A and B are shown apart, each in its own frame.
Chain A
């Protein structure tokens, strides 16, 4: 069977916030062409580098999120470069970009111009706050987008500042929404024959990750709070992240029909190791309700579970969790993820050959489908790797490209 997006040509002008959008569309079979300035995208100059060698083709951020794309360099700020981009856009289905609002327009590449040249083109813009509105002109990045979304305020410890994930989760949420927007706009185009401008904002994309809590404010009055490795339940604060012998595990005292069997199994597991007290074994799970515990009861349970976890490794505890249906998960680092037998059984990690640099293990398909339509199609492009072959589609020969290179256009 053919791929979901085969035959769709995407020009990807994005910087880091938009890398994932083009990558997932490429994994679905679209022909994604990364368009970079002649000196390369700034991400190419960012460490960490593969093997520690600072080189435009060895940045791990670049290599990680630009797979399934071809690459071309083009100085779109120069008139010849702009012309070539418009010529490429005439033959494309989608243009993805993450410049500040108005910036493409100022360069003669705004929505009206693109739409006039190609009525079927979808333009997708991913920005911190969106294309219009009182804060459209604000600068933004992951930290500030998450700050303005409500999510940051409730992340972290109560006695310290709100804290973000050290990798940019707003770029992932926003990039995926951009990809959804592109597919929806392509579906709409089938009916109308026309492309449209798709405007995705990182701030707005980070509101739903609080899973409805933001909308619920009008009913609950709760502005959010930081509880660190804990969570509030009823009138108590209960631990959620626990130290174990070699790291941390996630485990909750929460009950409910889906969770109580896991708590019972956990106590049985502890009992086999002689580490479940009389009192723990005597808990009546039929009437157990974590919302009704007193803090003293929570603290007593916490001491017992904590003492047990301290004697076990993350791997031991997760193995037991899978065998016994305990609702416990290791706080994985990349090391545990790469070693996971579940991921190995699903052949999730794949080797990607990066020509001239070697093979590297990657997270593979983001889904398994009955038609094998999701996969890494090719390694991230080297700087300017496909410039000649892509310009050839516009009728330019190698000699023309040489001239453009000498002029600094490619």
Chain B
């Protein structure tokens, strides 16, 4: 079959991570995703590490590049009514609109759902921001790091005797795009069946809290607050991350999860049945939990002398859940990710050839495609105005002369 979303156009306003990652699910399956951008107020990923000497300037951001492959860019001056008029025509011509500006921004341009739906009754539109489009804290100006704290992820991550840390990478920025892709996909399915459109208001904080429902219920049912516990588990021991032999001056670690008493016996065998491990008191999960510190220390005495790869493969060979702790460099040598073609190479005008990743879903009858690098700011303005709006050269020239096209 041709790509799933061939012929589907999604117009994207906003930037950063959460919005752009969401539309990638569609772009990687053939949708035409058009970013509406501005040179005066560029996407913050384009300027995050920008210095006067950055090659390519606004087009030279590696961070923007890896997240925005497979997209087109239109640059408009939205401070001008003519620019807004063009954006409106694009929105009405698209199959769906996705935006992650602060609440109210789209309305100030007259590009909110309520304004657009009058001319496009079956419009599908998703708005995502930290706290949602309504409520007293809707204008709260946070980024992903704040979203993670508000949703409860930071409190649950780290060591019980220290400050919370939060998972690397602002987790609400990675959960909310998946919800957004799900909601947009379901909305497109629904419109195909019923002809009805809809507006979706996705609060990144709320969506994150839905994932942590176990923690909310533990409080609402029992009044107990779940808190961070390092790598330990309430249900299994040992369950942790252990230091292995350093390699090339780098710290190396292995993660090991012993889920039940059978796993423990397998581990004891791998260790060569040393006296400390064959103690009957450690044969039960409760016994191991009671002396978990000692068990962890003993286990680490062994892992310290071996490479992480060796420990993981020996344990896996014995049927025990274990994996080397990979750093971002290791991922590019990971045989499983290579097998799944998780990273693909694209050719970028400024950055050269670089890898970008696609999602974690593999289909038996369709394949995600990374065809094009992230766009230069405004790279496709004329193309899109011509192809999507059928605009003639004269009108395009006039808009360009009036600096409506940036």
Contact = CB atoms under 8 A, between A and B. Distances in A.
Contacts of A200: 360-362
7 contacts: A24-B210, A51-B221, A163-B158, A187-B188, A216-B62, A330-B150, A337-B216
B169 A370 contact: no
Nearest to A258: B44
A408 interface: no
B82 interface: no
Given A133-B335, A348-B206, A162 B325 contact: yes
B17 interface: yes
B214 interface: yes
A252 B405 CA distance: 35
B53 interface: no
Given A188-B366, A197-B363, A166 B226 contact: yes
B378 interface: no
Contacts of A156: 158-159, 165
Q: Which 8 A-B pairs have the closest CB atoms?
A: A133-B339, A334-B219, A329-B146, A147-B255, A204-B360, A176-B178, A209-B174, A64-B213
B404 interface: no
Contact of A212 (B63, B145, B332, B359): B63
Contacts of B181: 180
B326 A150 contact: yes
B29 A258 contact: no
Nearest to A328: B146
A217 B331 contact: yes
Contacts of B13: none
A312 B47 CA distance: 34
A72 interface: no
A196 interface: yes
| Among A129, A167, A224, A248, residue most surrounded by chain B Cβ atoms (within 10 Å) | A167
Contacts of B224: 48
A293 interface: no
A341 interface: yes
B257 A144 contact: yes
Nearest to A28: B186
B365 interface: yes
Contact of A167 (B156, B324, B340, B363): B156
Given A212-B17, A241-B154, A335-B219, A322 B240 contact: no
A240 B157 CA distance: 14
Interface string B121-138: 000000000011111111
A333 B323 contact: no
Contacts, number: 506
Given A146-B255, A250-B166, A370-B200, 10 more contacts: A143-B233, A180-B359, A205-B359, A208-B174, A216-B63, A223-B329, A342-B138, A348-B206, A366-B210, A370-B199
Given A147-B325, A248-B163, A342-B137, A363 B336 contact: no
B328 A210 contact: yes
A185 B329 CA distance: 33
B167 A151 contact: yes
A184 B185 contact: yes
A132 B339 contact: yes
B151 interface: yes
Interface string B297-330: 0000000000000000000100111111111111
B11 interface: no
Given A64-B213, A204-B337, A204-B340, A373 B190 contact: yes
B251 to A, nearest CB: 9
Contact of B360 (A205, A229, A343, A365): A205
A60 B221 contact: yes
B108 interface: no
Interface of A: 1-5, 20, 24, 28, 46-48, 50-52, 60-61, 63-65, 111, 129-136, 138-141, 143-157, 160-167, 169, 172-174, 176-181, 183-188, 190-192, 194, 196-205, 207-224, 228-229, 240-241, 243, 248-250, 252, 256, 258, 262, 321-322, 325, 327-335, 337-338, 341-343, 345-346, 348-349, 360-363, 365-371, 373-374
Nearest to A136: B336
B110 interface: no
Contacts of A197: 363-364
A207 B327 CA distance: 11
Interface in B246-277: 250, 253-257, 259
A331 B231 CA distance: 19
Contact of A334 (B203, B216, B325): B216
B327 A223 contact: yes
A146 B153 CA distance: 15
Contacts of B190: 2-5, 373
A322 B331 contact: no
B149 A342 contact: no
A331 B203 CA distance: 17
A164 B182 CA distance: 26
Interface string B336-368: 110110110000000100111101111111100
Contacts of B339: 130, 132-134
A66 to B, nearest CB: 10
Q: Is the interface of A mostly helix, strand, loop or mixed?
A: mixed
A243 B29 CA distance: 45
A161 B300 CA distance: 11
A363 B150 contact: no
B319 A334 contact: no
B210 A173 contact: no
B156 A176 contact: no
Contacts of A173: 174-175, 178, 360
B59 interface: no
A63 B225 contact: no
B283 interface: no
Contacts of A28: 182-183, 186
Nearest to A314: B149
B340 A155 contact: no
Contacts of A51: 221-222
A143 B143 contact: no
Contacts of B243: 161
Contact of B199 (A190, A220, A252, A369): A369
B336 A147 contact: no
B241 interface: yes
| Among B133, B326, B354, residue most surrounded by chain A Cβ atoms (within 10 Å) | B326
A64 B1 contact: no
Contacts of A165: 153, 156-157, 167, 171, 228
Contact of B329 (A135, A155, A204, A217): A217
B226 to A, nearest CB: 7
B250 to A, nearest CB: 7
A363 to B, nearest CB: 5
Nearest to A194: B365
A218 to B, nearest CB: 5
Contacts of A207: 331, 337, 342, 357, 360
B284 interface: no
A179 B186 CA distance: 10
A164 B214 contact: no
Contacts of B29: 184
Contact of A370 (B44, B113, B139, B361): B113
Nearest to B170: A211
Given A4-B189, A52-B222, A215-B356, A150 B330 contact: yes
A369 to B, nearest CB: 5
